[in-house]
Amino acid sequence: MADKKITIALAGNPNSGKTTLFNTLTGSNQFVGNWPGVTVEKKEGRLKKHDDVMIEDLPGIYSLSPYTMEEVVSRNFLIDEKPDGILNIVDGTNLERNLYLTTQLSELGIPMVVAVNMLDLVEKNGDTINLDKLSSVIGCPVVAISALKGTNVAEAAEKAVAAARSGKAPKPAAFSADTEAVLQKIADLLPGVPESLKRWYTIKVFERDDKVMARLNPDSRISDIIKAAETAADDDSESIVTNERYEFITRSLQGVYSKKGAGELSVSDRIDKIVTNRWLALPIFFVIMWLVYYVSVTTVGTWVTDWTNDGLFGDGYFLFGNGREQYDEAMNGYYAENIWTDEVIANVDKAVEAGVPGADEIQAAIAEEDYGAFDEAYEFYGVELDEKENGVYSISETVDAALEAEGVPAPEDFGTWVKGVPVIVEGFLDGIGVNDFLKGLIIDGIIGGVGAVLGFVPQMLVLFLFLAFLESCGYMARIAFVMDRLFRKFGLSGKSFIPVLIGTGCGVPGVMASRTIENERDRRMTIMTTTFIPCGAKLPIIAMIATALFHGAAWVATSAYFLGMAAIIVSGIILKKTKMFAGEPAPFVMELPAYHWPTVSNILRSTWERGWSFIKKAGTIILLSSIVIWLGSTFGWTDGAFGWNPDLELEESVLGAIGNAVKWIFAPLGFDNIKATIATVMGLVAKEEVVGVFGVLDFEGLTPLAGYSFLAFNLLCAPCFAAIGAIRREMNNAKWTWFAIGYQCLLAYVVAFIIYQIGGVFTGTGNVIGMIVALALIAGIGWLLFRPYKEAARLESITA
Ligand code: GDP
Ligand code: MG
């Protein structure tokens, strides 16, 4: 009987200890590859002391829905490859959440053993788990283990092997009588489905799971059965099933898990007394978020980003900074002698008096004898001086001549000078005699565009590192809890906050996370508002505006974050007061995991995963669009003839023509600037593009106020195509998708308009009509915020 080779799948939530267990069970006996057709890692290994048993480490998942690559891979494996047994590992300190997956695994008709992991932690907390009772309610053998300490690990494996050999499937979770009756009706209309998978397919058909529907193409009468059930429960079928699962878990866990005597406060509880305190919680959260953004965007971030932009993807840099000081000194001396001549100083002084934008910065740089600051200000505002009074203020001739002349200090003479990527590539291309078109394409188009985006990777990694830490130590869960208290005051559910949190990384999983919200109206509202929070890709936009227009002030990043939060809360309140979204928020129950020090490898992995997906995007979609932008900006009309010309003014290019045609839309927001217009439009492809556009077309000509308005618009308007796709999938309805996009763009427009017009009053660039309209809009928003809840809505929520 021991002849047959068997396969056991190791399944469980992320961080439940699968990899730890897998390594213990298989020793070094493992093969790592990819699942066919996808890049999710596949790990296989032979069970120690059992040559005929293979263990397959499935990706960590929370459920078997068809929404993420990991879930799809796991389901396909379980259904199509049909392993002989499942060893389901669950985190004993977080049973409730972990058993959700267990209820789904138990429907597959595959023999299963549940390994309750982290026994050491459970015992340390003084808690106890009644294994016999748990085993009888979930209908399969249960073993308590500690994968880390190796406790009972071999026993769990033996039980799984025995279960697999016996072929005895677990008992699936039982739902309420109503739901069971509906499922029975559906099951009767599903002939031809293998008996062992009947429960699974029935439930998936009830949930209208795309993949299963496509595979089975079931009887059309089923659709009516589902609709009737949904009307009866006033909920969609997927939520019905989710509720049933949680109810089953709640019932099952009664008397199974007992916490150590109440009244005693653990360290975790004591921290929570402060961190979730009614008055202190929000201020603490603000301070933490401010610190996180301050460190990642302003200090560490700027330092590394400057190096990447000006050094690695710029002219070059000194190895380890050796020679930097001497070189700077020499340059300052050279500038003082050849550039900051009496004539130039007089011109700049005149320009300052006449109020030419930026002239004061150039003046200050000269006064401080800082060539770096001078270059930066000159690059930015030199044009302004040139344009004024037929060149009376112009200093460009002197500057250009001095920089072209012999005798400019060469960095190579002061230390080990490492040339930047563009310089190296240019040298190489010149060497092999590439024509100008190709050279421009590679250096300005590709390296310029992709480099500008990659320059923000270090900054983002720092941010992701902090977020990963806050997430895995358990703080973020507290914030959701605190936010629930706040949101509830406005009639919103704290559950809406989890998608927002996830959305700080990327809007796509953020939007997808909204599916944990059972109430359809709350869910739709959350989908519509989640992407207001700045995602990782919007961070470079914030950093760019902060650095270029606000001297890297930390408040820009922090305010952008809170602008997003405010947009979410304000939208929540406004929408909740419309008839479409009225109703009481769903109660929010969540286990707060104990605080703990996350492992370094976990944090690094999560940081890297987020960062890597960003880098991948830079290598594909951003690469392509950088090329398109570069082509669009170098093809155009010179003296009426169309053709390629690297020195084309933006206005004369194809891109410029397009920008010109639509820029009027943004005039009331202060950025009827071709580049800002193109950047905004390209932002729909991917938000990283916004920075990419400025990278390829280089930065110029936004006032700080217009810049901030531009920032506000780009943060709040419709997200990138990928996130819009996610919205479409989650809404599962074209009309709602368009409504969401329309709402986001409208809100973005109104907010940017108010910022620009009211800000104009203070900077002296405002006009009366704009201000009146802005005040009217503010009054309108105020009315929407403070009007009473709809009478109809009240009644509905009472009877619902
Ligand atoms: P996976 O994501 O499911 O593969 O989980 P890992 O094997 O990477 O484990 C996640 C974290 O939990 C790691 O930091 C492990 O060291 C820790 N861990 C795993 N099993 C145990 C256990 O039995 N007790 C304790 N205290 N920690 C564990
Ligand atoms: Mg793992």
Query: Is the CB of residue 47 less than 8 Å from the CB of residue 8?
Result: yes
Task: Report how far Cα 555 is from the mean position of its chain's Cα atoms.
Answer: 21
Give phi and psi for 797, each to the nearest 5: -70, -25
Question: Is the C-beta atom of 147 inside 6 A of ligand 1?
Answer: yes
Distance 364 CA to ligand 2 centre (A): 55
Q: What beta strand segments (E) does 123-234 contain? A: 128-129, 142-144
Question: Is the C-beta atom of 146 inside 6 A of ligand 1?
Answer: yes
- Show Cβ contacts of residue 796 under 8 Å, excluding neighbours closer than 6 positions: 582, 583
Q: Which atom of ligand 1 is nearest to the CA of 601?
A: 14
Q: Which atom of ligand 1 is nearest to the CA of 119?
A: 23
Cα(first)–Cα(last) distance of the chain, in Å? 58
The residues pairing with 128 across neighbouring beta strands, listed in sequence order, are: 258
> Which residues have a beta carbon within 5 Å of ligand 2, which is an ion?
19
Query: Is the CB of residue 336 less than 8 Å from the CB of residue 369?
Result: yes
Distance 25 CA to ligand 1 centre (A): 14
How far apart are the C-alpha atoms of 716 and 258, rounded to whole Å? 46
pLDDT of residue 645: 84
Distance 19 CA to ligand 1 centre (A): 7
pLDDT of residue 180: 96
pLDDT of residue 569: 87
Q: Which residues of the chain have pLDDT under 70?
A: 1-3, 28-29, 32-40, 68, 260-265, 297-298, 301-302, 380, 383, 387-391, 452, 491-492, 516-518, 583-592, 614, 617-618, 695-701, 789-800
Nearest-CA residue for atom 10 of ligand 1: 15
Ligand positioned closest to the Cα atom of 600:
1
Query: Is the CB of residue 692 less than 8 Å from the CB of residue 682?
Result: yes
Ligand positioned closest to the Cα atom of 14:
1
Question: Is the C-beta atom of 12 inside 6 A of ligand 1?
Answer: yes
Ligand positioned closest to the Cα atom of 61:
1
Question: Could you tell me which of 117, 136, 104 has the C-alpha nearest to residue 22?
Answer: 117
Burial of 378 (0-12, 13-18, 19+ CB in 10 A): buried
Question: Could you tell me which of 751, 675, 660, 674 has the C-alpha nearest to residue 713?
Answer: 751
How far apart are the C-alpha atoms of 164 and 308, rounded to whole Å? 55
Query: Is the CB of residue 395 less than 8 Å from the CB of residue 349?
Result: no
Mutate to test the pocket of ligand 1, among 23, 148, 604 (most ligand atoms within 8 A of CB): 148
How far apart are the C-alpha atoms of 742 and 759, rounded to whole Å? 25
Tokens of 180: 């069971």
pLDDT tens digits along 46-101: 998 888 999 999 988 888 887 767 888 899 999 999 999 999 999 998 888 899 99
pLDDT of residue 10: 95
How far apart are the C-alpha atoms of 384 and 465, rounded to whole Å? 41
Q: Which atom of ligand 1 is nearest to the CA of 599?
A: 14
pLDDT of residue 302: 67
pLDDT of residue 795: 37
pLDDT of residue 116: 96
Nearest-CA residue for atom 17 of ligand 1: 17
Nearest-CA residue for atom 25 of ligand 1: 118
pLDDT tens digits along 642-697: 888 877 777 788 888 888 888 889 888 888 788 888 888 878 777 877 877 776 55
